[in-house]
Amino acid sequence: MGMDWSYAPETSIEYHQAGSDMEPTRQKKKRPPKEHMAKGPPGRNVAEFAETIQSSTLQRIYTADRAVDGNTGKKFFQDTCAHTSCNDHDPHWTVCLQQQHTINSITIHNPDKARGRLKNIKIEVFQTNPRKTGAIAQLCAAIGPTPALDGTSVTLLCPNGTRGQYIRISKTVMQQGNWWQRGRRWKNNKCDALLLCEVEVVGTPYVDCPKGFERFQDSCYHFSDDDDVESWFQARISCQTIGADLAVIESKDENDFIAAKILALAGNNNNWSFFAGLHKLNDQMTWMWIDPNAVMGVPSGQPNALNPFSDWRDGQGDDTDDQHCLTYFKDNLKFTWDHDECCHSHRYICEISPTFPQPRCRGCFR
């Protein structure tokens, strides 16, 4: 009966002790050939080039980061794949997305030399580091005892509302092999390891609104209802102190929500105004949001994205004077956009969106 070996380039396999997880790895950003670029379900792959870790590594070559390098090719000896050690009795692989996401689907690209290893698999989502005590697993999907076909891709959908920062793929049942000795080296004729050529995670960033914030669509907002701050710059510092930044308005729906909230907050106080995150550059013409990926506030300016939105009241936003900061100003029982001097005192509106300000990286697996 022939031996059922793993797929390292050499005939002789040296085993490394399987124990605690190895050091996390980061993949250098080298783009794969175009024919091997991801062609998965609609959405953005949020796992590409993310920090990864696995329980063990075959020959210290087939590291965890190979499964997030953007190469979806499935030829084991030609493409880049991750492979745990053959004597690992609890093989698992984990990717950290750096921030919370709503997870829609997971796609596993199974190598051509898997020999039926992609079976008895569970995929779990964690909001906290699964290596730490108290981490709670949410089951996304599973692959049963019938193996996936070698050299194919398997896409698994997560239940609605699955959210987390960590994705862990592990084996639930290990195929027992027979150990035998050749000289002084032990061999296993059943290498039931975890092999992954690429893992794609389709999801969208998610923000948990802190106390004092209110959700609208994908963002969280805080409305200052105490005394004015002395300037637009101080307003921005106040927002950053609570993990946010001045609000960036990119649509009519968002603007209507904000205008309605501050109208209710102001009540009969007709002298209340609120800073937001738009300011004019030194060319005295171009208005820019503090988020560099946002749309412009003045259609006549040079937009850094398409379909800019604005809500200037008459005579505002298009002059060349020294009024460089946006405020919401109460006019005829509603709040609209007004340009004002940045050193004036006003209240302010803070926002935390899924992409701005950028979440701080604290080291995923520490």
Residue 42 phi/psi, 5° resolution? Answer: -55, 145
Confirm whether 23 is domain-assigned: no
Q: Does residue 252 contact residue 310 with C-beta atoms inside 8 Å?
A: no
Give the residue from 102, 324, 323, 357 showing the smallest Cα distance to 245: 357
pLDDT tens by residue, the chain, 366 residues: 333 333 333 222 222 333 345 555 544 444 444 344 334 344 689 999 999 999 999 999 999 999 999 999 999 999 999 999 999 999 999 999 988 999 999 999 999 999 999 999 999 999 999 999 999 999 999 999 999 999 999 999 999 999 999 999 999 998 765 544 555 454 555 789 999 999 999 998 898 899 999 999 989 999 998 889 999 999 999 999 999 999 999 889 999 999 999 999 999 998 999 999 999 888 777 888 898 777 554 433 344 445 568 888 888 877 667 789 999 999 888 999 999 999 999 999 999 988 788 766 567 888
The residues that bridge with 139 in the sheet, in sequence order, are 124
Strand pairing report for 121-126 and 153-157: unpaired
Please report whether residue 78 resides in a domain: yes
| Whether 157 and 242 share a structural domain | no
Say if CB 118 and CB 108 are below 8 A apart.
yes
Task: Return the structure tokens found at 103.
Answer: 């997870």
> Do residues 186 and 238 share a domain?
no
Domain end marker among 167, 185, 205: 205
Indicate if 89 and 158 belong to the same structural domain: yes
Residues 172 and 286 in one domain: no
Query: For the domain that residue 319 is a member of, what is the CATH number?
Result: 3.10.100.10
pLDDT at 362: 60
- Residue 318's CB is within 10 A of a number of other CB atoms, namely 14
Give dist(CA 116, CA 329) in Å, integer.
66
Q: 361 lies in a domain?
A: no
197 and 226 inside one domain: no
For residue 364, tell me if it sits in a domain.
no
Domain co-membership, 221 together with 186 = no
Residue 358: strand, helix, or coil: coil
Q: How far is CA 129 from CA 26, 91, 165, 223, in A?
A: 17, 17, 8, 33
Based on the structure, what is the number of domains in the chain?
Answer: 2
Residues 174 and 233 occupy one common structural domain: no
Asked if 249 and 345 sit in the same domain, the reply is: yes
What CATH code is carried by the domain that includes residue 115? 2.60.120.260
In angstroms, how far is CA 286 from the centroid of its own chain? 31
In a domain, 287, yes or no: yes
Residues 99 and 142 in one domain: yes
Of the residues 174, 205, 236, the one at which a domain ends: 205
Q: Please give the residue range of the domain that contains residue 73.
A: 34-205
- Boundary (domain end) residue, out of 138, 171, 205: 205
The reply to whether 269 falls in a domain is yes
Domain assignment present for residue 84? The answer is: yes
Same domain, 258 and 275: yes
Say if CB 142 and CB 108 are below 8 A apart: no
In a domain, 169, yes or no: yes
Residues 198 and 280 placed together within one structural domain of the fold: no
Q: Which residues contact 46 (CB under 8 A, 6 or more apart)?
A: 97, 101, 201, 202, 203, 204, 205
Q: What are phi and psi of 255, to 5 degrees?
A: -65, -40
321 and 196 together in one domain: no
